[in-house]
């Protein structure tokens, strides 16, 4: 049973390739977000530092031009127009005393510096906020230091907006990448599944199917190569079938005529006994050759579509019981024991063809198992299938040769001197394939078990009731 489509998709190389591309896309998006965040943060920090420096140097210029009184007035005006400590101003004399401003500082400095309220500077008021960041700049004057600072809350807000934008963009990128990866993988998997179905049908003998892929990508090229291979294979197989059918048909007629000319010789009274025995042996050999040709023609008809089976609902359990009743006397004459265990299962099939296939398997066990042997026919229900097994306790078949026994004229080395043509199991396989089933051999420990699987005619619970 083949895997479910979702399972095949999760295991497919197409999904793995699409997932890698999606990861690259997501990684590139994340890297672009990190770079954008870093560049924007640095730009805003430099802007705040430049503003703080300009504020401090502007106040320094006021001091140089108008003196300390105008500096005080300018700082007071700036403080009055500033809300929520957005900008800070401070003047410290050379003794380190804070002369005027809207914050206090432990130690004056020159140049840029990052400060935090509560840690590096103090804001006036009992409910002054703590933890606010400031970008500050200090200028040294002859009379002391001028300090100016810009609050960095705007930078924090922008950073938060950028982070949210990057997170949102990354989430959308991941969703888009996953969707695109699944879509591409699903499309590729569907095309591969169609190609695989064609190859599976070809593996069971249906060489008429073709892959309907004409694209210019790798799957399209493989599909065209598979179609070309199947075209050539179909021509070769049809030629072989036609040759075997023609040979069998053309030789069967003269051999039948030869037998017809030999048969009157056995009725002659003046024929010496040794000559009569030779004539009888020749007739038996001609009968065997005709049987081989008939089997070849039958296999060619089944595999080439020339057979006209009469498919109808069939009680497979009842068919096994009838065959057991018919073949049991033959088994007893050969010293074997034939048993049957069945359940009522309904399949759609040709009763005569299935009876011939099962009889071939049982007679094959009769022929190759030394007496006394136990041959058991069993039938059991599987989900959607009927499993028919013919099991014996004979010598079995080596594992390396179990698949080869279904080839035409294939015979085990130990069976070379026994009766048979090597076509019995080939005919069984052709009949089972015609019914949409499968056949296999397995070790029975000891012995051999030949298992035939056929699709049920309806739901298992209905067919088995």
pLDDT in tens, 33-74: 788 888 888 888 888 889 989 998 999 898 888 888 888 898
Mean pLDDT in residue range 371-400: 86
Cα–Cα distance measured from residue 269 to residue 311, given in angstroms and rounded to the nearest whole number? 51
Judge whether 202 and 233 are in contact, CB under 8 Å: yes
pTM over 0.85: no
pLDDT digits (tens, 9 = 90+) for 170-196: 788 778 877 877 787 777 777 777 888
Distance in angstroms (rounded) separating the CA atoms of residues 449 and 389: 6
Tokens of 193: 């599944």
pLDDT at 137 > cutoff 90 = yes
Q: What would the two tokens of residue 459 be?
A: 């739901």
**Nearest-angstrom CA–CA distance, 349 and 454:** 9
Candidates 3.30.565.10, 2.40.160.100, 3.30.70.100, 3.20.20.140; CATH matching 312-463: 3.30.565.10
The arithmetic mean of pLDDT across residues 124-151, rounded, is: 86
- Per cent of the chain over pLDDT 90 is 11
CA-CA-CA-CA torsion for 362, 363, 367, 370, nearest 10 degrees?
A: 40
Q: What per-residue confidence (pLDDT) applies to 453?
A: 92
Mean pLDDT across 17-44: 80
273 vs 77, higher pLDDT? 77
**Residue 402 pLDDT:** 63
The three-state DSSP-derived secondary structure of the chain is CCCCHHHHHHHCHHHHHHHHHHHHHHHHHHHHHHHHHHHHHHHHHHHHHHHHHHHHHHHHHHHHHHCHHHHHHHHHHHHHCCCCCCEEEEEEECCCCEEEECCEECCCCCEEEEEEECCCEECCCCCCCCCCEEEEEEEEECCEEEEEEEECHHHHHHHHHHHHHHHHHHHHHHHHHHHHHHHHHHHHHHHHHHHHHHHHHHHCCCCCCCCCCCCCCHHHHHHHHHHHHHHHHHHHHHHHHHHHHHHHHHHHHHHHHHHHHHHHHHHCCCCCHHHHHHHHHHHHHHHHHHHHHHHHHHHHHHHHCCCCCCCEEEEHHHHHHHHHHHHHHHHHHCCCEEEEECCCCEEEECHHHHHHHHHHHHHHHHHHCCCCCEEEEEEEEECCEEEEEEEECCCCCCHHHCCHHHCCCCCCHHHCCCCCCCCHHHHHHHHHHHCCCEEEEEECCCCEEEEEEEEECCCHHHHCC
pLDDT at 110 over 70: yes
Question: CB 73: neighbour CB atoms within 10 A?
Answer: 13
Residue 169 has pLDDT above 50, yes or no: yes
Please give the CATH number for the structural domain made up of 218-304. 1.10.287.130
Q: Where in the chain is the domain with CATH 3.30.565.10?
A: 312-463
Mean pLDDT of all residues in the chain? 79
In the chain, CATH 1.10.287.130 sits at: 218-304
Identify the pLDDT of residue 280. Answer: 80
Assess whether pLDDT exceeds 80 at residue 321.
Answer: yes
Mean pLDDT, residues 201-224:
74
């Amino acid at each position: 049973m083949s895997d479910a489509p979702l399972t095949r998709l999760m295991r497919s190389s197409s999904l793995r390739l699409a997932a890698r591309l999606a990861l690259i896309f997501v990684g590139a998006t994340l890297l672009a977000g990190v770079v954008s965040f870093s560049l924007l943060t640095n730009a805003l920090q430099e802007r705040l530092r430049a503003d703080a420096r300009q504020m401090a140097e502007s106040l320094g210029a006021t001091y140089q031009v108008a003196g300390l009184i105008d500096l005080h007035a300018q700082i007071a005006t700036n403080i009055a127009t500033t809300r929520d400590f957005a900008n800070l101003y401070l003047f410290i004399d050379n003794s380190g005393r804070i002369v005027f401003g809207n914050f206090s500082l432990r130690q004056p400095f020159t140049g840029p510096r990052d400060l935090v309220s509560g840690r590096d500077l103090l804001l006036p008021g009992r409910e002054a906020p703590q933890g606010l960041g400031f970008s500050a700049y200090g200028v040294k004057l002859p009379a002391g230091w001028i300090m100016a600072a810009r609050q960095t809350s705007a930078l924090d807000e922008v950073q938060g907006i950028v982070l949210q934008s990057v997170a949102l963009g990354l989430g959308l990128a991941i969703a888009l990448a996953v969707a695109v990866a699944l879509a591409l993988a699903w499309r590729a998997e569907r095309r591969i599944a169609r190609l695989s179905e064609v190859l599976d049908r070809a593996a069971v003998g249906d060489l008429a199917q073709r892959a309907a892929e004409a694209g210019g990508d790798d799957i399209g090229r493989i599909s065209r190569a598979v179609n070309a291979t199947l075209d050539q294979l179909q021509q070769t197989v049809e030629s072989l079938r036609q040759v075997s059918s023609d040979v069998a048909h053309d030789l069967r007629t003269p051999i039948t005529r030869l037998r017809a000319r030999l048969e009157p010789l056995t009725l002659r009274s003046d024929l010496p006994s040794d000559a009569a025995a030779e004539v009888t042996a020749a007739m038996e050999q001609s009968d065997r050759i005709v049987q081989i040709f008939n089997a070849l023609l039958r296999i060619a008809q089944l595999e080439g579509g020339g057979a006209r089976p009469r498919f109808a609902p069939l009680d497979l359990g009842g068919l096994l019981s009838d065959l057991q009743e018919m073949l049991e006397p033959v088994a007893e004459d050969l010293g074997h024991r034939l048993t049957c265990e069945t359940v009522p299962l309904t399949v759609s099939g040709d009763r005569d063809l299935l009876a011939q296939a099962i009889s071939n398997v049982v007679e094959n066990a009769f022929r190759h198992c030394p007496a006394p042997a136990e041959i058991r026919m069993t039938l059991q229900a599987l989900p959607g299938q009927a499993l028919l097994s013919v099991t014996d306790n004979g010598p079995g078949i080596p594992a390396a040769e179990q698949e080869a026994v279904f080839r035409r004229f294939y015979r085990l080395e130990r069976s070379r001197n026994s009766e048979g043509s090597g076509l019995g199991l080939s005919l069984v396989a052709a009949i089972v394939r015609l019914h949409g089933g499968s056949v296999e051999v397995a070790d029975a420990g000891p012995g051999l078990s030949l298992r035939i699987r056929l699709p049920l005619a309806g739901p298992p619970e209905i067919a088995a009731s």
